Structure 1
Amino acid sequence: MKLILRKTVSGGCRLGELVDVGLQGNYKMSIPCCLTYTRGAAAPHLTKDMMGTLPEVPFGIQLTLPTLAENQEILEDFKDGISKFSNLPESMLFLSVQDPGTSTPSGYNERQCASIWCPGGRMRLSPDNLITMVKCIQPDWFESLYDGDQTAIRSSRKRTVKSVDRTLNFLDAVLNAKQNSQELKDTQVFGVIEGGDISDERLRSVRETAKRPVSGFVLDGFHGDSVTSEVDKDLLLVTLAELPEDKPRIIHGSGRPDQVMQDIEAGIDIFDSAFPYVVTERGCALTFNFNHSDPEDLDNSQQTTCHEEFSQQSPTVTNNRQNGVNSLCKTDYEIDLNDQRYKEDMTSLVSGCQCYCCKNHTKAYIHHLLMTKELLARVLLMLHNFHHYFLFFQEIRDSLNEDRFQALKARIMLLR
């Protein structure tokens, strides 16, 4: 795998391509981009045919270990990996240790293992366990095991140092196991950067991880409840400044549009797309306007509704650990279809949207489905929210290519 940067604009924004991607080494990915979020190797609420109706579906798919780990024996017997087992399209598979779309309890990691939370409960995971699961799942990329509990509020320096040490030890064990496995010789390992909100520990984590033969980096612990946006931004910039330019950077828990714009400007390449899932689970629809060619794409009534409904609160953090999918907090980038105001609203979710939901159904219908607890409600919302989010990332790449990223950022930040 090789990263080719076509240009760096607007500060640290990186526009380019990852080439020779995948176990076969014959694919490419444009950056910045998001990965398609999955649960159990399938898009939440959607069938493969429904996903096929979406434009600009990301080439990269994010597999979440907590939704797959309990199927290890089945995959071992199958032998051909999750791609064939789940009939996934030709794509790049990235395996993440935690699920960014759900809440993960803190305080359960140990010296020799970390914890993941599966449908059946807690599972202890050692580096050897991770390697065994990677062999069964057969992803193109996977992130090393890490101890991310330092993201809890007011973590001590002692706890943060321990977190960085454990994460580096996990990485060494994973790299050693990979080196001794013929099956994993072409699989890419991403190192995880820890350090909480302590700058020198972040730098130690970055510098030590960069010394290892990793293919890329995962920035963990940002945009959580433990750090303010100002501290968050400064830490991210300091961290990214130490990373090599020729390797991709992934961040978890940064899905809100304003966070995405700020992180791309700082130099992040790849995001997850758990945010549309979190929005869907609370019965909301993404409605923020990013279309530069048609300023009226989001009609005035929708803009007013969105602004008035959430103007009394700042955009909320939908981080993977602290808030989780069941958070009642909403952001200025969405509308809540549970609200009675939509009971007789016969307009589409977003005027001019070409997704199946907007072309065929109204806000009133989605509200009715939510009130009657019909499964179809989240099917339609997930379809729309993925559609909206994926086009947002395409617009980001277009804006970078056409030197209008700052105009797009200003539009997105105004919606907060």
Structure 2
Amino acid sequence: MHMLQHLTGLVAMMKLTISKVTGRARLGVITSLGQSGEKSLEVPGCLLYTKTASPPHLTHDTLQTIEGVPPVTHVTLSSLAEHQEVLEEYKEGIGKFAGLSDAVLYCSVSDPVTPSPNGYNTNKTVSVWGSGGRIELTPQKFMSIQSALKVDWFQCLADGEVMPSGCSRKRAKKSVDRSLSFLDECLQLLAKNDVLKDKVVIGAIEGGDLLDERLRSARETAKRPVGGFLLDAFQGTAMTQETKLNLISSVTAELPEEKPRFIHGVGRPDEVLNCVELGVDLFDSSFPYEVAERGCALSFDHQYEPDPETAGGHPSPDRTPEFNVLDKAELCDVEKNREDQTENDKLELDQSQMTSYEICLKEKRFREDFRPLLPGCTCYCCRNHSRAYVHHLLISKELLAGILLIIHNFQHYFSFFRSARAALRDGKLHLLKEAIQRRAP
């Protein structure tokens, strides 16, 4: 019997109910969330990404204009650890401090957009970087910060370094051993902490790119009284896509069905759907933020239903349905403009990180384009402003550009997850994947 088995009563009330499983993809809802226990979160779904506990570029009022905002907000320890003394003196937690009193809060160790540098973790500490530099976290300090933050869920301290050129067997084993040791110590501290006794601990699955270590991490973490699991260190390009998917598939097969599975730093629509098919439940929403930061707007179709006018309402099983994709003339125009652009037309753009799911509003071709960012979108930006206007704001370096782009990108991304859930419910996830893959790189 595991030495921490007596702590199972510490797992706070949080219930995942799975209503449908297609292959490995799970459709369901997490209930009993928040202080009142009245909130719920549908899966597959995403969390509201924040920077220093604030949605980037947005005030509380502008956030309210966005449709489908998730009920769970994602904050990062790396951006908040240096404010521990202020929060301890405040005593009400980061939710009330940041104006997020009505939100369910989840805290990860690192920011998926700016992960910590490698080489600073030890057997006793994990390092995170805030605006003031490096902060070394022991399990004791980590839990004291969590006591000050007073979030609802938190990722346990873990050694989740992402190796740029792969992970040696020795380093992968060390990552798993350290993370399990941190988890055990944090759980023991949790048992003695009245402030945190009703909080949910999310255990991190480590092991780099080695399958046997990932499986060992999954099996051992599942023995502990955690409320969910984070498939950690899959962000970036250190692993090939094939390696990532093989590891994720193997790990989720080892995890208990009744607890949610998280992943950070995987946000591109095609990659999200691949992970959903392998049993991942929850994602962060840092991808739309990253897209906005490079002056881009999400512009992809996620309608999987055939058009009744072209498909006669009841398409034949042998007929390939016609999707409600973006206007064909518009897509041709976009591609032609991209092909015809010269380096001088790109206004010194860095498009190395761009994906096929976005358009760059800095490009000169949008100077006189008075269409909305995405035809048919109902966000505040698309209802009130044009591509030409956002282009002008970006070139003029106006702060309003970031506000309008994040409003659009967040709303479109959240609606993409609604489509993913609807496709699972209708048994048509494969059709959604086909629609998404038409824009894949």
The change in CA–CA distance for 1:327 and 1:25 in structure 2 (over 3 A counts) is farther
CA contact (8 A) 1:164 1:205 kept: yes
Identity %: 47
- Return the alpha-carbon distance in structure 1 between the equivalents of residues 46 and 335 of structure 2: 26
Given candidates 22, 30, 36, the residue that maps to 2:48 is 36
2:409 is matched with 385
- Return the alpha-carbon distance in structure 2 between the equivalents of residues 47 and 105 of structure 1: 30
Given candidates 65, 70, 78, the residue that maps to 1:58 is 70
Given candidates 158, 171, 174, the residue that maps to 2:170 is 158
1:356 is matched with 380
Shift of 1:253: 0.9
Shift of 1:106: 1.5
- Counterpart of 2:439 in structure 1: which amino acid? L
- Return the alpha-carbon distance in structure 2 between the equivalents of residues 332 and 194 of structure 1: 30
Given candidates 190, 195, 203, the residue that maps to 2:207 is 195
CA contact (8 A) 2:303 2:435 kept: no
Shift of 1:3: 1.1
Shift of 1:304: 3.2
1:184 corresponds to 2:196: yes
Given candidates 320, 323, 337, the residue that maps to 2:361 is 337
The CA RMSD measured in Å over matched residues stands at 1.7
Given candidates 268, 274, 278, the residue that maps to 1:256 is 268
Structure 1 unaligned segments of length 5 or more: list them. Answer: 312-325
Shift of 1:327: 8.2
Shift of 1:299: 2.3
Is the radius of gyration larger for structure 1 or structure 2? 2
2:302 is matched with 290
Given candidates 92, 96, 104, the residue that maps to 1:84 is 96
Deviations 1:64-110 (A, max 9, x none): 11222222111111111112112215221100110112243222212
CA contact (8 A) 1:23 1:187 kept: no
- Counterpart of 2:300 in structure 1: which amino acid? F
CA contact (8 A) 1:297 1:352 kept: no
Structure 2 unaligned segments of length 5 or more: list them. Answer: 1-13, 308-322, 340-349
- Return the alpha-carbon distance in structure 1 between the equivalents of residues 368 and 106 of structure 2: 42
- Return the alpha-carbon distance in structure 2 between the equivalents of residues 180 and 276 of structure 1: 39
CA contact (8 A) 1:306 1:333 kept: no
- What SS does structure 2 have at the residue aligned with 1:183? coil
- What SS does structure 2 have at the residue aligned with 1:182? coil
Given candidates 240, 245, 268, the residue that maps to 1:233 is 245
1:209 corresponds to 2:237: no
- Return the alpha-carbon distance in structure 2 between the equivalents of residues 291 and 398 of structure 1: 10
- Return the alpha-carbon distance in structure 2 between the equivalents of residues 351 and 146 of structure 1: 43
The change in CA–CA distance for 1:12 and 1:67 in structure 2 (over 3 A counts) is same
The change in CA–CA distance for 1:304 and 1:147 in structure 2 (over 3 A counts) is farther
CA contact (8 A) 2:228 2:261 kept: yes
- What SS does structure 2 have at the residue aligned with 1:100? coil
- What SS does structure 2 have at the residue aligned with 1:8? strand
Count of residue pairs brought into register by the alignment:
401
CA contact (8 A) 2:156 2:201 kept: yes
1:398 is matched with 422
1:138 corresponds to 2:150: yes
CA contact (8 A) 1:249 1:268 kept: yes
TM-score relative to the length of structure 1: 0.93
1:21 corresponds to 2:33: yes
CA contact (8 A) 1:35 1:60 kept: yes
- What SS does structure 1 have at the residue aligned with 2:68? coil
- What SS does structure 2 have at the residue aligned with 1:232? helix
Deviations 1:153-187 (A, max 9, x none): 13211111111111111111111111111111100
- What SS does structure 2 have at the residue aligned with 1:353? coil
The change in CA–CA distance for 1:235 and 1:303 in structure 2 (over 3 A counts) is same
Shift of 1:49: 0.8
- What SS does structure 1 have at the residue aligned with 2:66? coil
- Return the alpha-carbon distance in structure 1 between the equivalents of residues 332 and 78 of structure 2: 39
Shift of 1:152: 3.0
The change in CA–CA distance for 1:241 and 1:86 in structure 2 (over 3 A counts) is same
- Counterpart of 2:377 in structure 1: which amino acid? C
CA contact (8 A) 1:32 1:269 kept: yes
- Return the alpha-carbon distance in structure 2 between the equivalents of residues 130 and 306 of structure 1: 49
- Return the alpha-carbon distance in structure 1 between the equivalents of residues 94 and 34 of structure 2: 14
1:411 corresponds to 2:435: yes
- Return the alpha-carbon distance in structure 2 between the equivalents of residues 2 and 70 of structure 1: 33
The change in CA–CA distance for 1:205 and 1:306 in structure 2 (over 3 A counts) is farther
Given candidates 16, 19, 26, the residue that maps to 1:6 is 19
